[in-house]
Structure 1
Amino acid sequence: MIYGIGTDICDVRRIRASLERHGDRFAEKVLSQAELATWRARSKRWPERGIRYLATRFSAKEAFSKAVGMGMRMPMTWRSCEISKLPSGQPVIVLHGELKTWFEAKGLKAHITVTDETDYAASFCVVEYEDPSRTH
């Protein structure tokens, strides 16, 4: 049974402007340690690819926060929600700290997809109960 659905579209130009204004502080606020390492590596090799990576992560976390119905308030924080990927390349959500505890206590499972094009990054998230008989 579905618990919630969230979607988000992010203007990559807005992310670029935030990086220009605030430098790495913006990425450090939004990304987990693992995501930061990937962002830095991609940005070093191809800066535009790094910007798109940050935009997709920002968008995915927004979509997830909408799907769980709490927006950006505790226990949801930017850094407690990590967007990783399986060896196949499929994106997955990895939760940390209080958010992980809250999510697991509710018996939830998340599915996320991300995409980007020149000026936009978009994400779609479905959160469901792991046990369909459990709806609270």
Structure 2
Amino acid sequence: MLTDALLAFLHFTAIFALITFLAAEAVVLRPGLTPAALKRLSVYDLLYFLCAMLVLASGLLRLFFGAKGAGFYLPNPWFHAKMTVFVVIALCSLPPTRAFSRWRKRARSEPGFVPAEAELKRARRWVMIEAHLLILLPLCAVMMARGIGLK
């Protein structure tokens, strides 16, 4: 029981941290971006990625070592919906991450570089899509945890 509680705590903490860094990216991706904010953006994106990996790892630990076990989750359609949404969010994170990488490289060779407003808007649009899709994960989680959809 203690293991299950600690795994749940780790999973939820990673989720909250992930949301924090996604929100930080959305806040920074606005017109008037400064070179200093551009550096922070790369740090936020790295921390977002690390939190996503921790969410995935802690979720897998809960799947295999949690109280309900894989036998409860694997046949559940909401588990598969949740994993699908997680993968879609991960795929949506690729365009902004690639943009941030290009911007970081350019800023190293051109001090004072900031991306054009259109590029900022494009990256922000992807971050906002991620944020809106993220809302579906708790829905899938509560349906899954209650066994809804199991026969």
Q: TM-score, normalised by structure 2?
A: 0.33
The structure with more strand, counted as a fraction of residues: 1
The structure with more helix, counted as a fraction of residues: 2
Structure whose CA Rg is larger: 2
